[in-house]
Every structure is written in C-alpha cells, then in structure tokens.
C-alpha cells in the first residue's frame, strides 16, 4: 500500500510503500540486521581495555537494531524523499515502520524525520 509522507515542518516530503511482513520474516531480518553489530562485538574482544566498553556497546546496538524489526508489523519499501536543507533526493528501502522514520541525508548529514500524512 502506497503512503504519503510529510517532514517535521508538515511539508510534503515523499512517498513509500508499506508492506506487512509475517513474524518469521521479521525475526530473520532482525537477526540479519543485528548480526553486524554482534560480529563487531566479537571482533573487539582482543582489544585491551577498550573491549570493556566496545563489546557491551555493540551487543546493545545490535539488540536494539534487531528489536526494531521484531516489534514492527510492517516495513517501508521503495521510498523516496527530498532533503529540505539541500534538496537532495533520498531513496530508502526496507526500513522498519516506527514513526517518526528517521533518515540521514547522504549529502549534508541532516536528520530528516518523516511522518505519515493523513
């Protein structure tokens, strides 16, 4: 289902497609998204002193990333938006549907917060 998006200034910002995912696929995507952080945590084990900070940090970040897929009912696919700061077109795909959706502009680094337009 196609939905329209607005930015934090209530201006039209783009569109995306909402796709409901079954629980088994959400769990698989969650593990896949958190795995990079968990692998980084294992890689930080031999670093002296810093492993006391880095390993728990990467374990927590991986769990939070995976949790965002596990608890959501759907994802946003094939979305496009426009950065209000530099007018760069941004494309996004496979983003968990948690409102507001937060995206970083690749050109200027501006954090764009998208909401569903009624």
- For the chain, the distance separating the N- and C-terminal CA atoms, rounded to the nearest angstrom, is 14
The stretch 56-77 carries a mean pLDDT of: 91
Average pLDDT, the chain: 89
Tens of pLDDT, residues 67-98: 988 888 888 898 999 888 888 899 988 888 88
Quick one: tokens of 82? Answer: 């426009």
Q: Which residue has the tokens 């930015």?
A: 7
For residue 38, the model assigns a pLDDT of: 97
> Is residue 36 predicted with pLDDT exceeding 90?
yes
What is the residue-wise DSSP string for 67-107? Answer: HHHHH-SEEEEEEEEE-TTT--EEEE-SEE--SSEEEE-TT
Beta bridge partners of 101: 114
Q: Given this model, what pLDDT does residue 35 score?
A: 95
Q: Which residue has the higher pLDDT, 8 or 62?
A: 62
Q: What percent of the chain lies above the pLDDT cut of 70?
A: 100
pLDDT at 1: 79
Range 51-60 average pLDDT: 96
In this structure, how many other beta carbons lie within 10 angstroms of the beta carbon of residue 60?
Answer: 12
- Tokens for 18? 């909402």
């Amino acid at each position: 289902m196609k939905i329209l998006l607005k930015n934090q200034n209530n201006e039209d910002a783009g569109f995306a497609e909402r796709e409901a995912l079954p629980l088994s696929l959400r769990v698989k995507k969650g593990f896949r998204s958190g795995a990079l952080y968990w692998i980084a945590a294992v890689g930080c084990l031999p670093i002296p002193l810093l492993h006391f900070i880095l390993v728990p940090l990467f374990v927590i970040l991986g769990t939070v990333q995976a949790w965002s897929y596990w608890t959501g009912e759907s994802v946003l696919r094939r979305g496009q938006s426009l950065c209000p700061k530099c007018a760069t077109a941004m494309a996004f795909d496979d983003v968990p549907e948690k409102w507001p959706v937060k995206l970083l502009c690749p050109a200027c680094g501006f954090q764009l917060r998208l909401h569903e337009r009624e």
